[in-house]
Structure 1
Amino acid sequence: MISAYSDDNGFNIVEYSPIELPKNALSYEISLAVDVENTFTHNIQRVLLDNARFAKDLDEMVPSKIPVIGFMGELSFIYIKDDETNEYKLLESWNSKLGKELFLTFDEKKPKFFENAIESFRTTCTSVIHITFKS
């Protein structure tokens, strides 16, 4: 992400600097401010789901302890029973608390999934399935 602003004419860049986003986030909450002296400041907070809370709810809702797939936007999360605690936990191999993006593409002979399908979505979006589940 880049922070930049121009002078009064709108063409000359006064300041141009990169802003590093926090790692491991589902999304970001960004606040921008300009004070009376035209000093620009920003505050960036990472946003994560309360997956631990949902896992506790699953313990009550699903007594059989079968694996559960949760969806949020274009992300999926897989919860499995922890053999030691007998409670639900996020599947580490499914990117744990960050989940996996739900993209499938059929623009080549062999379908692509998840990260491999995202580039097709960004460039052509002609043979990609996403946001299949609506609430």
Structure 2
Amino acid sequence: MTKGFDADCPATREILNRVGDKWSVLVIVILADGAKRFNDLKRSIGGISQRMLTLTLRGLEQDGLVKRTVYPTVPPRVDYELTPLGRTLLEPVTELAMWAQRHRPNVQNARAAFERAAKPPVPRRGT
């Protein structure tokens, strides 16, 4: 492991759980372009439920990575944007997302090969 990294530190694990979560990564990458409203985020992240997006945004806000701004309009307008601390995650999280996109075919091929190898051979009849 990297020198100085304490894998047993509960606080570090908690933070890694937050920023390493697939939904958090996607939210951070999408907010890189600037503030977004809740429904814009939801549309941009296929497959996320309203509840999961709410929980993800709340957790990122709690950790000081996302700022929630409520505007006193009718109906109220709420924007989400990265804080300066959240912006420090853009480079590593974007690189991780790009790595996933670049290596998707390799991972899919490895998964298929693993599944083929895990299946028991079909016995032949008559031999």
- Fold in common (TM above 0.5): no
TM superposition score normalised by structure 2: 0.23
Q: Which structure would you say has the larger RCO, counting Cα contacts within 8 Å and 6 or more residues apart?
A: 2
Greater strand proportion: 1
Greater helix proportion: 2
TM superposition score normalised by structure 1: 0.22
